[in-house]
Amino acid sequence: MLNNKSILITGGTGSLGKELTKTILKKWPNVSRLVIYSRDEQKQFQMAQEFPESEYPAIRYFIGDVRDLERLKRAFNGIDYVIHAAAMKHVHIAEYNPDECVKTNIGGAENVIKACLSSGVTKVVALSTDKACAPINLYGATKLTSDKLFIAANNIKGKQDIKFSVVRYGNVMGSNGSVIPFFMKKREEGVLPITDVNMTRFNISLQGGVDMVLHALDTAWGGELFVPKIPSYRILDVAQAIAPNCEHRVVGIRPGEKVHEEMITSSDSFTTYDLGKYYVILPQVTNWNLEDYKKHFNAKIVPQGFSYTSGENTEWETVASMREQIKEHLYPDFEPK
Ligand SMILES: NC(=O)c1ccc[n+]([C@@H]2O[C@H](COP(=O)([O-])OP(=O)(O)OC[C@H]3O[C@@H](n4cnc5c(N)ncnc54)[C@H](OP(=O)(O)O)[C@@H]3O)[C@@H](O)[C@H]2O)c1
């Protein structure tokens, strides 16, 4: 799928960007070009130690901000596929610095779309988050706006051969700033801060996120919002998996946080289809035939009123499954303590 193609990842030095890079270089050794686009030269310098240009001749490190349209246009020259992963993603930082979050997550999305439309890019996948579903914080609201911009971009492309789609998923296990590394650190102090004892979250591995993005890149017809079917965990099970001997201190839910996350609301159910391994929310306006789509993907409309929330999931992680995954994906020497 990606051999002889040129790909650019905005936010390529982030958790998802690096895992995507690893997977792409391994699975498609004949990729033409893989451009890592981000701001911080230090992160790029470190990533270049792991993926040096001498060993991976396709890789390029390109310093740039998604707020800078001219720079994006320059970077997109000759690019076939764009994966838009750059974002401000910390809920409380976005609450405190709202205009910065708007500039990156909304202004950045607009710029990426404009730069794609003014170059030869043919496929674009933008990253969303469960927090964009019925958002209660600014981060989620900016990502929902970004989702809408990418989906609507299919309506303004004219005759251009380009497809925009979105991938939405929940907490990525072990990603920058997530709960598992936080608990691993806190257990050394003997006390784990718990925001709410009832809290649940969706759980996906970085590789699971990468697989969904690559699947979207491969199969999107344009305008889909892909939602993988993934299990949930209870925060108390994560605490038990990591630190069974620690005390818990309930610190209360933080501003802008939900007790349970949602990926598909009941209002989305009218345009949500079950495709087996994942759901897809389809746009109201398409430039392809819905009946053809349903037949092609064997897509079944979900029951009216269906919603997909972490608190009412049918699949659950257990203490044992969390321990296995922490060992497999994050800390090979992990032992509960
Ligand atoms: N991690 C999760 O649990 C999770 C869950 C659901 C969805 N997502 C979504 O998945 C995407 C990737 O998340 P992640 O966990 O990989 O994030 P991350 O580790 O925080 O990485 C963010 C990346 O974006 C870059 N970036 C930030 N602002 C930028 C700007 N203005 N211009 C250019 N690059 C910029 C960062 O590099 P510089 O700072 O050097 O520019 C970094 O490479 C995001 O869109 C996020 O909303 C994440």
CA-nearest residue, atom 23 of ligand 1: 11
Ligand 1 lined by 302 (C-beta under 6 Å): no
The helix (run of H) or strand (run of E) holding residue 219 is: helix 206-219
What pLDDT does 174 receive?
A: 84
pLDDT value of residue 1: 92
What ranges do the domains of the chain cover? Answer: 6-330
Which candidate in 131, 143, 163, 186 is catalytic?
Answer: 131
Instruction: Give the DSSP H/E element, type plus range, for residue 152.
Output: helix 138-153
User: Pairing state of beta strands 81-84 and 191-194?
Assistant: unpaired
Please give, one letter per residue, the 3-state secondary structure of 270-329: HHEEECCCEEEECCCCCCCCHHHHHHHHCCEECCCCCCEEHHHCCCECCHHHHHHHHHHH
Q: Considering only CA atoms, which residue is closest to atom 19 of ligand 1?
A: 14
What is the residue-averaged pLDDT of the chain?
Answer: 96
Class of domain 6-330: alpha beta
Over residues 307-322, the pLDDT tens digits come to: 999 999 999 999 999 9
Closest ligand 1 atom to residue 12 Cα is 43
Cβ 205 under 6 angstroms from ligand 1: no
Q: Give yes or no for residue 11 having a pLDDT over 90.
A: yes
Cα 11 to averaged position of ligand 1 atoms, centre (Å): 5
Region 268-273 average pLDDT: 97
With 90 as the cut, is the pLDDT of residue 63 above it?
A: yes
Atom 12 in ligand 1: residue holding the nearest Cα: 85
Q: Which atom of ligand 1 is found nearest the CA of 139?
A: 47
16 neighbors 206 (Cβ within 8 angstroms):
yes
pLDDT tens-digit series, residues 170-227: 999 988 778 999 999 999 999 999 999 999 999 999 999 999 999 999 999 999 999 9
Question: 135-173 pLDDT, tens per residue?
Answer: 999 999 999 999 999 999 999 999 999 999 999 999 999
CA–centroid distance, residue 85 to ligand 1 (Å): 5
In the prediction, which pLDDT does 254 show? 86
CB atoms within 10 A of CB 247: 10
* Whole-structure pTM value: 0.97
The residue nearest atom 32 of ligand 1, judged by CA position, is 65
Q: Which is the closest atom of ligand 1 to the Cα of 65?
A: 32
Testing ligand 1's pocket by substitution, the residue of 15, 91, 180, 330 carrying the most ligand atoms inside 8 A of its CB is: 15
Query: Which ligand 1 atom is at minimum distance from the Cα of 86?
Result: 24
Helix (H) or strand (E) holding 23: helix 15-27
Q: What is the mean pLDDT of residues 331-335?
A: 96
Task: Say how many Å lie between the CA of residue 303 and the centre of ligand 1.
Answer: 34
Is 131 in the active site? yes
